[in-house]
Structure 1
Amino acid sequence: MSGVKPYPEYKNSNVEWMGIIPASWTVRPFFSLVRENKRSNRGMVEDNLLSLSYGRVIRKDISSNAGLLPESFETYQVIEADDIVLRLTDLQNDKRSLRSAIAAERGIITSAYLSVRCEGVLPRFVAYALRDCDLRKVFYFMGGGLRQSMKFSDMKWLPLAVPSLGEQRAIVSYLDRETAEIDDFIADQEELIELLNERRTATITQAVTKGLDLTVQMKGSGVEWLGKVPQGWRTASLRHLLASKLKYGANEAAEFDNPDWVRYLRITDFGYDGKLKDETFRSLPPEVAADYMVKPHDILLARSGATVGKAFIVPEDSPPSCFAGYLIRVECDPKLLLPQFAYRFFQSTPFLDWKNASQTVATIQNIGADKYATLPVPVPPVDEQREITVYLDYETAEIDAAIADAKEAIELSKERRAALISAAVTGKIDVRNHITAELGAA
C-alpha cells in the first residue's frame, strides 16, 4: 500500500467490523444497492451453465453434469454479466470457502445461490466490498446468529460503506491493478510448487524403484507398470510384507476435542509436510479408541474420496492416537519391509498409477483393504532400504523447505490482498490521487 495515504477526515461508521470511514462516505444497507434476481430458466432460455468456485464464477459443461436431466436446469436462475452471486449455504460446516463473486457473462446458476443486480453503484465495487465481508467472515453471524443457510431477506441489512461513483471507479481501478499483480505472483508460486512436487516425486520414484547405484544390473520385476528393478531386489504383494493384517479404523464421529483423550486421526489432520495439523485436533474416549490405536511407524492410507491413496506415517513422538474408518492401518514387518521405505513407495509414480487404475468409483473413489493387500511392492534388501530412506529424507527435506517457502509466500500474498481490498472499500486508504497521478504519467 505504498504511495497511498488515508483520507483527510473520518467519522464513525457505527459498524463494529467496519470501524471509521471517510467523512464524505455513507453506510447503506445491502438492499438499497441491489435487487434480487428471480428470473427462472423455465423453457431452457439459457444453457450456459455457471458455478461459483474458489471465489470466481466459472463456466461448466452442461452435458457433463451427471444425473441432471435437461429439465432439471429449468429450475436454475438466469444471470447477466456483472450480476453478483453468493453461496450462502452450509454455513455451519464450511467456514473456509469464498462465498461471493461477480459474473463475467450471461448464464444460469443453481437456485441454491443468491444472485443480485446492482442499482446506482458500480457492480465491481460492490463485489469487492462483499469480498471484504466474505474474508472477514461477516456472513456467518448475520440474522441473529450462526445459521445453516441464508436468503436475501437475511442479507438485506448488511451494512456497506459507499463513496461517490467517481471514488468507486478509482477504487475499482486501483484494486483491479494491484490484485492482478498479487494474483500473478501467486500463480508463479503455485507453478513453482507444482514443479517442485514433480521433482520430489521423480526423486522418490527413481530411488524406490531403481535404487541409488546407477551401474547395477536390472531385471524384470514381473509387474508391467513397475518395470525393471535392480538384480538383488524382489517384488512381493503388500500382504506378505506385514506384521499384521490391514485394518480399518473407528467409525466414530469427530465431535470431541478433549486434550486428555486419545487423538483421533483423520485424513484432514495430515499436512502436506507429513506432520499433523494442530488446528484439526479431535479425540475419542480411551475406551472407544482402544481397538484402533496406532504405534510409531504405522502407516495410514486413505481409502476413499479425493485423497484416496494418500499416506501418513505415524511419527516417533506421536501422542497416543487412534485412527478413523476412512483410513487403513499398514503395519510393516521391519524384517522384510521398513515402514519408512514403504511410505516413500506410497509417494512414487508407480504407486500413483496403480492407485488410479485400481480404485472403484461408485459415488466416491475407493480402494479397500483387500485391494491394497494385493499391491505389488519392490523390495530391496533391508540394509539397502535403509540407505534409500536416509537419502530420500535428505533430498526431500531441501525440496520440502522450498515448497514451504512458496506456500508461505502465497499465504502472505493472500493476506496482503485481503488487507488491500479491506482498506480500499472501507476508505482506510485514499486512492483518488494515486489513480490521477498514474493517468498523468501515462
Structure 2
Amino acid sequence: MLSRIDLRGRSLGTAELRRTLPRGAADVDSVVDTVRPVVESVREHGASAALDHGETFDGVRPATVRVPADVIARAAAELDPDIRSALSEAIRRARIVHSAQRRKDSVTEVAPGGFVTEKWVPVERVGLYVPGGKAVYPSSVIMNVVPAQVAGVGSLVVASPPQADSDGWPHPTILAACSLLGVEEVWAVGGAQAVALLAYGGRDTDDAELEPVDMVTGPGNVYVTAAKRLCRSVVGIDSEAGPTEIAVLADDTADPVHVAYDLISQAEHDPNAASVLVTDSESFADEVDREIEARYDVTLNSERVREALEGPQSGIVLVDDIAAGLRVVDAYAAEHLEVQTRNASADAARVRNAGAIFVGAYSPVPLGDYAAGSNHVLPTSGTARHSSGLSVQTFLRGIHVVDYDQAALKEIAPTVVTLADAERLPAHGEAVRARFEDLSAGRDER
C-alpha cells in the first residue's frame, strides 16, 4: 500500500533529502484569493457577514455569534460521564506540564547601577480556533486553552463552527470542554470568517459587542490557514498549519502491528495526512505493509485512511542503518516523530528536528493527542526545523526593562557615543552626552 523510497547505498545531502522525502503540503497560495473577499467582507460588515458566509459554507445560521450561557451549561450537564472523566484527566495532566513551562522574570545587573529586567507579559486577549467537520475536537480546546490560562491571558474566546444538528451551535462536546475549563465566551463561527471576526470584531445580531483579539491560535483547514495569513498584520498567529503528519523511525525490534496502527491512526485525520516509516529493515517494512493492508479497511474512516496512505505524502523510506535514519528524520522534521528502536531513548536524544518526539513502544502519538500532558498543536510541513509547538510561551511577550542610574550611564557613555558615530548617527551619541555636557553652544554654532 505505501510507496517506497530506497536510500540504501546513497549519500544525500540535506537539500536533496528534503526534495526526495514524501511530504504533504497545503497549497495556501491557491486559496488566498478565494479567502480574501471573505476576510474583507467580515472586516467591513462584522458579524452579519461572518454569519452570511457560515450559512453559505456550513448550511446553518445561529441566532447569535456568541453562544448563550445556558446552552453551554446544558452541554456540560448532559455530557457523558465517561467523556467528562476523560476530559478532566486530560486537563489535569495538561495543567501539570504547562504549569512547569511558565517563564519567570529575570533581573540582571550589567554594571553597578545598571539593570536590565526581562519581564514576561501575557497577551491580553486571545481567540482560540477549534475546527469542526470531519471530527469533533474537544482535545483541541484543552490544548489551546490550558497554556493560555497558565500564561495568564486576560480574556479568552473559543470559536468553533456551528452544527446543523446542534441547533446551530458548536458541537456539545466542544461546549462542554469549554465549560470544564471555565471558558465562558464561545462563538458559533467557523472557517476563514471566524479568523476574520476574531481579528476585527464587530457587533453581534443582538447588538452586543464582539471584541477583537490580539492573537489567534488553533488548527484548521487550508481556508483557515489562508485567513490567518491575511490577518497576521492585524493579529498575532501561532502558525500556518499544514496537514498533519507522523514519521516513525523503527528497526526490526519494533512491533509491526503497533507501527501499522500508528500510521493508520494519523492517516484518519485527513486524506492529505502524511504517514512515513523510516527503517533499516526491508523485512520489517514488508511486515508493516501487510499489517496495514489487513487492518486499515475495518476502521471507521477507512476511505480517508486509504487515500492518505496511498498519497504521495506517505511512504516507507529504507535506509542503511539507524544513524542514516536519524539523518533522514532530521531532514524531514516531522510534526510527530516516533522512535521505536533497540536504543530508543538514546536515538531519540539525537533527534534535532521534530515537533514532538514519542519514545519507545508505549508512547504512541495518540497518547500525545489526548492525555500525555504535552501539547498536540505542533509545527507541520518541515517547520519543526525552526518552530516550536504551542506552549505557555506562545502567549507571553518578553519585554526588556532598562534601568540605569546616572553613574552607570556616565560610565558607558563613551562606548555609546563611539558606536553612534561609527554608524553615522551622531544624534544618538548627543542624546547621551546632553545628560553630562552643555551642548547648547554647539547648537548655536550650527
Q: Which has the larger radius of gyration?
A: 1
Task: Work out whether the TM-score is over 0.5.
Answer: no
**TM bracket (short chain):** under 0.3
Q: TM-score, normalised by structure 2?
A: 0.22
Higher RCO by CA contacts (8 Å cutoff, separation 6 or greater): 2
